[in-house]
Amino acid sequence: SRREPVKNDDLWKRLDELRSRHRLQVSWVRGHEDHPENNRCDRMAVKEIEQRTGQRGARG
């Protein structure tokens, strides 16, 4: 630990709450290295953001 604040603290807390109600398996995947599952998840996340916000081209 570098004693730095946790990034996205609110999201980690929400994820912790949700995991008590759902089966969850977390796997580390090198970010955007043209990994098929990572690319699929990215497309799904972007689509969901666009549907919820009505904005096209949502990127993190």
User: For the segment 6-48, what is each residue's pLDDT rounded down to a tens digit?
Assistant: 889 999 999 899 888 988 888 886 666 788 888 898 899 999 9
**Structure confidence at residue 2 (pLDDT):** 80
* Phi, psi (rounded to 5 degrees) for 24: -135, 130
Query: In the chain, where are the structural domains located?
Result: 9-53
What amino acid is encoded at 58 in this protein?
A
- The three-class DSSP label of residue 43 is helix
Contacts of 2 (CB under 8 A, 6+ apart): none
**Structure confidence at residue 59 (pLDDT):** 60
**Structure confidence at residue 55 (pLDDT):** 80
